Structure 1
Amino acid sequence: MTTPLSSTEVRTSVPLSGHTTLRLGGPAARFLPATSASDVVDAVRAADQAGEPLLVLGGGSNLVIADEGFGGLVVHIATEGRSFDRLADGRVELTIEAGEDWDRTVAFSVEQGLGGLECLSGIPGQVGATPVQNVGAYGVEIADLLTSVDLLDRRSGRVHQVQAEDLGLTYRSSVLKGTDSAVVLRARFALQDGGRSAPIRYAELARVLGVELGARVPVADARQAVLELRRGKGMVLDADDHDTWSAGSFFTNPIVDDAELPGVLAKIGERVGADAVVPQYPGGPGRTKLSAAWLIERAGFGRGHLAADGRVSLSGKHTLALTNRGEASTADLLELAREVRDGVLAAFGVRLQAEPVMVGCRL
């Protein structure tokens, strides 16, 4: 049986700009903070049974909301809680409620001497969003550590546990992305006890740490180095720094079929010179990943590139971040995103894909 929503719990006309890291987005017609998993379940079931449009909102770090806002119920996940279970071979399974802050979760795991999450330090948002996006940074992805999630299936109304291998976790995606058919209630991660990091796989991070690729370091050292790198790119939230008023990396690194790669590289060579060293990374069987930031810069969009009369710009620290300079609208942001996307397409024949979830708007 579904518990009706109390009118005293639901607020009206709540600006969603206060709930996104871009600080953009119009008002929610109705807004409900949900502080327990059962609150989330009851609210979602009630909205679905009533046929009310529903937006489940976490930390708002990977979200672009239209200036018109959302004309239904916004359920803001504000759940908290974490627990440990000992596994075999020195591993520990950490269970975290979906509403927990992600970076505080990483900090907690480091404080406990658990290795695995440290390279994902400084990423804004909540735990529940990380499996949806298969969040990754500095050579580590959620897919490397996730064991399972508890989901509310909106089609059946049931809560059930789903194993990580059944989530279709791929580069910055999963079967949960782009659909509202399920809501993550909590997630579980298998970490390694003993105070050492996962093997360092990212060259830039290895250089900062002064170690070879594949080395393990104290988890606190790895976290500190990652935070320093992210701050240098404007990727750690700071209310006083407009370069962090963003959704993080706005575009994903494009993945090209190897059969098409020679043609793409030839077109890039025509623009930047045949001797240019184009960054390339494994993109899966028969595919190669290119650097979106490198392409954006070579297409003529430098750091700090302005649009909409200066109300939005590329970050002054990292060209993958599209930023609100303080007075922007969502329309302004999308204007800049289209300019960059279309410019890269015209220059190199590569179409960039947006990483954030769009609500009531599109590129």
Structure 2
Amino acid sequence: MHAAATTTTDSRLSAHTTLRLGGPATRVVRAEGAREVADAVGSADAAGEPVLLVGGGSNLVVADEGFDGTAVLLAGRGMAHERDGDTVVVTVEAGEDWDDVVAATVADGLGGLECLSGIPGRTGATPVQNVGAYGVEVADLLVDVDLYDRRSRTVREHVPASELGLAYRTSVLKGNDDAIVLRVRFALSADGRSAPIRYAELARTLGVAPESRVDPAAAREAVLGLRRGKGMVLDAADHDTWSAGSFFTNPILPVGEAPVIDGLAAWPAGEGLVKLSAAGLIQNAGFTRGHAGPGGRVSLSTRHVLALTHRGGGTTADLLALAREVRDGVTDRFGVVLRPEPVLVHCAL
């Protein structure tokens, strides 16, 4: 026997997003495990209802009109370890809080996830978005996933990471409702050292050379410190954290099409390609920290121009108006179109 998913009495999606924005769903169901997720989604599919998967709500921008369908809250918990020499494969249920997972692996002396500390949301979302920060991304560590296939209404176990089309902040799972992540597996180092420190800002903070490997706990604390300084660690009392994280992805362009701007951070992104700093483009287009949107109800973060924040009393329409202002300002100035990183639900830029 397994527990059935439960329908909640509060249908407001704003209660389940870090932006604190979004209208109601027709129905909100809390699923406590992989089987409950499959049952809830299968039931909605059988009834012909649209389905929205909600983890921590840290990467969702939901329309003020809400969602005409069933929102399934991923609440399943659980972690397991299997050691193979100097590698430990960690299996994590999709509903586990991501930063709790990172903290637990660091506490166990496992290396690999520490640079992904402080990122809000649930574990099941990390391969969908190919979450990354400070020189590490999920693709570097992911072994495989278990998926619920909505077309066949079956569970597919151990789908290899190589089949997920993992790329910069995307995968074949993003924007595709046919498959739902139920659990994930990561291969972590058991030698007590972090992943190589590749991000220059983090290396400077730690006082080490690039590519050094350090105590995972030290790397985690340094990352958390950097993220707090940018308003990127959730705090209910801090409106700079009422956001969806970085709102725009760093654009990747052919080298010959990239604007040349003094001091703009740029990185190689494959043969003939360069990745530009979205934050640098926004700043050079004349937008400053704290730049206010409609009525001051939304604004750029006072610490980091890449985050669009809700200051209280705002709407999703307010947020999108600010996003369009920033996007169009960058396009008008530099001819570069910024793309949103969050998932937009029943709304668009």
What TM-score bracket applies, with the shorter chain setting the length? Answer: over 0.9
> Which one of 186, 189, 201 corresponds to residue 198 of structure 2?
201
What residue number does 1:140 align with? 136
User: Does the CA-based 8 Å contact 2:3-2:36 persist in structure 1?
Assistant: no
- Report matched runs for 1:146-161 at 5 Å: 146-160=142-156, 161=158
Which of the residues 167, 170, 179 maps onto 1:173? Answer: 170
**Corresponding position of 1:319:** 305
- Among 170, 181, 185, the residue aligned to 1:184: 181
Alignment of 1:294 onto 2:280? yes
Is 1:47 the counterpart of 2:47 in the alignment? no
Letter paired with 2:313: E
Moved more, 314-323 or 153-162: 153-162
| Equivalent in 122, 127, 130 of residue 131 of structure 1 | 127
**Paired position in structure 1 for 2:210:** 213
Using a 3 Å threshold, how does the CA distance of structure 1 residues 4 and 233 change in structure 2: closer, same or farther? Answer: closer
- TM-score, normalized by length of structure 1? 0.93
Counterpart-to-counterpart distance in 1, 2:173 and 2:322: 28
* SS of corresponding position for 1:253: coil
The answer on whether the counterparts of 2:8 and 2:30 sit within 8 Å (CA) in structure 1 is no
For the residues of structure 1 that align with 2:4 and 2:33, how far apart are their CA atoms? 14
Letter of the 2:15 partner, please give it. Answer: G
**Secondary structure of the structure 1 residue equivalent to 2:302:** coil
- Alignment partners' CA distance in 2, 1:237 and 1:278: 28
Output the CA distance in 2 between the equivalents of 1:158 and 1:342. Answer: 44
Alignment of 1:248 with 2:245, yes or no, is yes
Q: Are 2:82 and 2:89, in contact at CA under 8 Å, matched by a contact in 1?
A: yes
Is residue 17 of structure 1 aligned with residue 3 of structure 2? no
Unpaired runs of 5+ in structure 1? 269-275
1:5 CA drift (Å): 7.2
| TM-score (norm: length of structure 2) | 0.97
Which residue among 112, 115, 118 is the counterpart of 1:119? 115
- After superposition, what is the alpha-carbon deviation per residue over 1:205-256, rounded to whole angstroms, capped at 9, x for unaligned? 0000000001111111000000000000000000110000000000000000
CA–CA separation in structure 2 for the residues paired with 1:355 and 1:60: 13
Distance 1:4 1:221 in 2: 40
Q: Alpha-carbon deviation of 1:179?
A: 1.2
219-228 or 45-54, which deviates more = 45-54
Q: For structure 2, which runs of at least 5 residues remain unmatched after alignment? A: none
Question: Please, which moves more after superposition, 131-140 or 46-55?
Answer: 46-55
Report the aligned-residue RMSD.
1.4
Indicate which of 324, 336, 348 corresponds to 2:322: 336
State the alpha-carbon separation in 1 of the partners of residues 9 and 208 from structure 2.
53
- C-alpha displacement of 1:13: 5.6
Q: Distance in 1 between matches of 2:106 and 2:88?
A: 13
CA distance in 1, matches of 2:9, 2:57: 19
Alignment-derived partner of residue 273 in structure 1: none
CA distance in 2, matches of 1:108, 1:245: 25
C-alpha deviation, 1:285, in angstroms:
2.5
Bigger drift between 230-239 and 50-59 goes to 50-59
Q: Mean Cα displacement is larger for which, 42-51 or 342-351? A: 42-51
Percent identity, aligned pairs only, is: 64
State the AA in 2 paired with 1:362: A
Deviations 1:96-139 (A, max 9, x none): 00000000000000000000000000000000000000000000
- Tell me the CA shift for residue 49 of structure 1: 1.4
Give 1:272's aligned residue. none
CA separation in 2, counterparts of 1:331 and 1:4? Answer: 38
2:4–2:31 CA contact under 8 A, matched in 1 = no
| Distance in 1, Cα, partners of 2:8 & 2:195 | 44
In the other structure, the counterpart of 1:80 is 77
Map Cα deviations across residues 303-323 of structure 1 (whole Å, 9 max, x no partner).
Answer: 000011100000000000000
